[in-house]
Amino acid sequence: MLQVELMTHSAEETMAKSEALGKLMEGGEVLLLEGDLGAGKTTFTKGLAKGLEVKRNVNSPTFTIIKEYQGRLPLYHMDVYRLADSEEDLGFDDYFEGEGVTVVEWAHLIEEFLPSERLEIYIYHHGDNERKIVLTPKGERYEAICKELME
């Protein structure tokens, strides 16, 4: 199976990679972000937002669960950390099936609500500023995105 592995050495470099990914979005994509606290999930989302031409500053939606931003396409940014074990459906489908791009931090916590076609992104700590970012596409649309990203 196709997988993309990226190494970055600063927050800026991570944002440059996710900005490039953001530029490939056409609407309706679902991106799942996994990784420890401080791995860079929100940082990755900030770059992605740039690629979507979101002008507002993107920050962690931990206390609101879902934040929506306007750009070239809408960005739906979720951080479901606080929903751990609650099994609460906040109307996720409306976002996943919406015209915008959905990004979910700690996505495995709402696995039962997630679509099967998606881009899975794991961020691993490698020292203070080094990160390994692994993208695994699930579905043809996401495989195409990964191929484009590597070009």
- Residues of this chain that interact with ligand ADP (CB under 6 A) are 8-11, 13-14, 35, 37-43, 105, 129, 131
Count of CA atoms in the C-beta half-sphere (13 A) of 118: 20
Residue 7 or residue 150: which is nearer to ligand ADP going by CB? 7
Asked if 104 and 30 touch (Cβ cutoff 8 Å), the reply is: yes
Q: Could you tell me which stretch among 16-24, 33-41, 120-128, 135-143 binds Mg ion (CB under 5 A)?
A: 33-41
- Chain center to CA of 21: 10
Residue with the CB atom nearest ligand ADP in the bound state? 40
For residue 87, the SS3 value is coil
Helical ranges in the chain per DSSP H: 11-23, 41-51, 92-96, 140-150
Q: Could you tell me which stretch among 24-32, 38-46, 65-73, 120-128 binds Mg ion (CB under 5 A)?
A: 38-46
Q: Which of 23, 24, 28, 60 binds Mg ion (CB under 5 A)?
A: 60
Applying CB under 5 A, which residues contact Mg ion? 41-42, 60, 105
